[in-house]
């Protein structure tokens, strides 16, 4: 294999906006988790196959520079993220226990790998597999517990990112600054004052799902409930100190570390690393990000073939989330997994099965 190759169909790396009046979730170009398009072997013809004509520019009001204004601040996001970081900085050193650390590591994998990487990203955003509706809901709920917002906003922002990767309008491109792409972009709304229209355009399949919309309202209650559960378990083990240890380490420390792992995909994986594919964005494969973000660091591979549920394309590119997908497939909980780059690979896999 050469060091850098071009995907067979460049459309996968040159996404642009849907045409006027059309959402990316229209049946012509978006496969739901329960019903893929008839020819899913063409990975490039996936979530964002409808393009605007070349002479139509993305609205300037949605660029990073125009988002940074006082009346566009997301006070909810700023408050939530500031509170979480403050609790960790103050409380984590005071409440450390080995039990709390163990719970943190376990829940980091549950919410980070299964909730965000598998659930929000590979299943809900890119529809890289089919599954039962209840399984879809379970992973969406776990993803909500990661603290990165509801599935509606997460999926909408990520689809927009793929449509405009490292161009004006990308929600979190390092072209607007490394810190901006890592975290600062979250301080400002991406919907430009019309959240309903934004969600209907970029995540219409989720917006029409009552359960997904319910998670929008249950975000804070679910976190409060999980805090009480963790405290109760810790209290039953060894009193109040252990209870607070599980809350601060199992909930807040875990949440902050998962956040930064995801944010590193947006920042570091568009700044440092190597490229297997010649894409039109600046995506990179970064081994450190792949470790902390459960395989998401093979980001150039992902941008070349967005629907492919397997992010590691070379033998040494280990993808732990892919191992979870394989286990779910073996158990019959997911099927028709997109683990190939083109029709030839799909045919070869079927022949060897």
Average pLDDT for residues 136-150, to the nearest whole number?
97
Domain assignment present for 38:
no
Tell me the three-class secondary structure of the chain, residue by residue. Answer: CCCCECCCCHHHHCCCCCCCCCCCCCCCCCCCCCCCCCCCCCCCCCCCCCCCCCCCCCCHHHCHHHHCCHHHECHHHHHHHHHHHHHHHHHCCCCCCHHHHHHHHHHHHHHHHHHHHHHHHHHHHCCCCEECHHHHHHHHHHHHCCCCCCHHHHHHHHHHHHHCCCCCCCCCCHHHCHHHHHCHHHHECCCCCCHHHHHHHHCHHHHCCHHHHHHHHHHHHHHHHHHHHHHHHHHHHHHHHHHHHHHHHHHHHHHHHHHHHHHHHHCHHHCCCECCECCCCCCCECHHHHHHCCCCCEHHHHHHCCCCCCCCCCCCCCCHHHHHHHHHHHCCCEECCCCCCCHHHHHHHHHHC
Domain assignment present for 180:
yes
Domain assignment present for 7:
no
How many domains is the chain built from?
1
167 torsion bin: left (phi>0), alpha (psi -120 to 50), beta (else): beta
User: In the predicted model, is pLDDT for residue 70 greater than 80?
Assistant: no
State phi, psi for 285 to the nearest 5 degrees.
-90, 120
How sure is the predictor about 280, in pLDDT bands with cuts at 50, 70 and 90? very high
Average pLDDT for residues 88-95, to the nearest whole number?
98
Do the beta carbons of residue 100 and residue 9 sit within 8 Å? Answer: no
Q: According to the model, what pLDDT value does residue 71 have? A: 78
Q: According to the model, what pLDDT value does residue 10 have? A: 42
Average pLDDT for residues 308-312, to the nearest whole number?
97
Domain assignment present for 217:
yes
Average pLDDT for residues 92-117, to the nearest whole number?
98
Average pLDDT for residues 294-303, to the nearest whole number?
98
Q: According to the model, what pLDDT value does residue 96 have? A: 98
Q: Rounded CA gap, 312 and 74, in Å? A: 35
- As a whole number, the mean pLDDT across the chain is 85
Domain assignment present for 8:
no
pLDDT tens digits, residue range 166-192? 998 899 999 999 999 999 999 999 998
Average pLDDT for residues 248-272, to the nearest whole number?
98
Q: According to the model, what pLDDT value does residue 353 have? A: 63
Average pLDDT for residues 231-250, to the nearest whole number?
98
Q: According to the model, what pLDDT value does residue 38 have? A: 37
Structural domain that includes position 288: 13-30+44-52+74-352
Domain assignment present for 187:
yes
User: In the predicted model, is pLDDT for residue 266 greater than 70?
Assistant: yes
Q: According to the model, what pLDDT value does residue 149 have? A: 94
Higher pLDDT, 128 or 2: 128
pTM > 0.75: yes or no? yes
Domain assignment present for 63:
no
The two tokens of residue 69 are 């204004």
Q: According to the model, what pLDDT value does residue 225 have? A: 98
User: In the predicted model, is pLDDT for residue 91 greater than 90?
Assistant: yes
Q: According to the model, what pLDDT value does residue 349 have? A: 66
Domain assignment present for 79:
yes
pLDDT tens digits, residue range 281-291? 999 999 999 99
Q: According to the model, what pLDDT value does residue 247 have? A: 98
């Amino acid at each position: 294999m050469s060091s850098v190759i071009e995907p067979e169909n460049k459309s996968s790396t040159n996404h642009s906006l849907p045409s006027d009046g059309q959402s990316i979730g229209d049946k012509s170009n978006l496969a739901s988790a329960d019903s893929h398009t008839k020819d899913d072997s063409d990975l490039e013809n996936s979530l964002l196959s409808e393009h605007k004509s070349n002479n139509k520019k993305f609205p300037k009001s949605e660029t990073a520079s125009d988002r940074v204004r006082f009346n566009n601040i997301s006070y909810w996001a700023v408050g939530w993220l500031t509170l979480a970081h403050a609790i960790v900085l103050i409380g984590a050193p005071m409440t450390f226990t080995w039990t709390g650390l163990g719970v943190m590591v376990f829940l980091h994998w549950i919410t980070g790998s299964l909730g965000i990487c598998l659930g929000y990203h590979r299943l809900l955003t890119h529809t890289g597999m089919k599954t039962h509706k209840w399984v879809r809901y379970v992973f969406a709920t776990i993803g909500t517990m990661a603290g990165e917002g509801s599935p509606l906003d997460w999926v909408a922002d990520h689809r927009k990112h793929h449509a405009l990767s490292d161009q004006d309008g990308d929600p979190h491109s390092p072209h607007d600054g490394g810190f901006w792409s890592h975290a600062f972009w979250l301080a400002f709304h991406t919907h430009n004052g019309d959240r309903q229209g934004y969600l209907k355009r970029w995540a219409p399949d989720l917006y029409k799902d009552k359960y997904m919309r319910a998670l929008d309202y249950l975000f804070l209650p679910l976190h409060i409930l999980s805090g009480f559960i963790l405290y109760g378990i810790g209290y039953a083990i060894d009193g109040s100190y252990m209870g607070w240890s599980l809350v601060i380490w199992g909930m807040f420390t875990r949440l902050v570390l998962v956040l930064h792992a995801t944010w590193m995909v947006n920042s570091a994986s568009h700044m440092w690393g190597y490229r297997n594919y010649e894409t039109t964005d600046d995506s990179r494969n970064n081994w450190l990000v792949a470790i902390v973000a459960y395989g998401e660091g093979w980001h150039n591979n992902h941008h070349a073939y967005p629907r492919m549920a397997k992010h590691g394309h070379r033998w040494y590119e280990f993808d732990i989330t892919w191992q979870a997908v394989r286990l779910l497939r073996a158990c019959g909980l997911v099927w028709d997994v997109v683990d190939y780059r083109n029709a030839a690979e799909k045919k070869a896999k079927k022949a060897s099965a």
